[in-house]
Amino acid sequence: MKIIIIGSNGSGKSTFARKLGEILDLPVYHLDYYYWKPGWQETPPDEWNEFIRNLVQEDQWIIDGYYGKTLDMRLEAADVVVFMDLSPWVTTYRVIKRRIQYNGRSRPDLNEGCPESIDWPFIKYSWNFRRDKRPAVMEKLKKYSLGKKIIIIKNPKQAESVLYELRTRGRSDSNALF
């Protein structure tokens, strides 16, 4: 099974991916971990595209991260797409909370040498994700929907419900949900 989890920063992608990976016993790839080098250095575009091309060729995975420029490659390869479409109030609150929680340290889904930080453009990106990115995401979901399971999660309670349902059904019956 190949699952991608997309959404705004602060939408809970990494946490959902980690929990889903534990339930389904699938490898989880947090794109932030691979994209950001120590000191918040970006991976060069050619190297990043090659990494994504190779990653989607693996037999099974959960990939979390938005990264719009490579989204088509991941959507094409995925069996299941989970779109974390949460309110900007929730995502912005979580971004600020995460900054406090990991003050001066790298989050588990980031490389060492990438301490949690926050600035006004980052907060604005989170707040405006639904307005600025959601329409294109919805178009892409429509374009790639044939033969794929699309799950749109609107709130944290719904995310927990999906995980609970999978936990109670077990890995062998997860295809019924997905």
What are the pLDDT digits (tens) for 35-58?
A: 999 888 999 999 999 999 999 999
Output b/e per residue, 52-71; b: 16+ Cβ within 10 A: beebbeeeebbbbbbbeebb
pLDDT given for residue 174 in this prediction:
56
d(CA 146, CA 133): 22
36-37 and 41-42: which strand pairing? antiparallel
Q: Which fold has domain 2-169?
A: Rossmann fold (3.40.50)
Over range 81-101, report the average pLDDT.
Answer: 89
Predicted TM-score (pTM) above 0.85:
yes
2-7 and 149-153: which strand pairing? unpaired
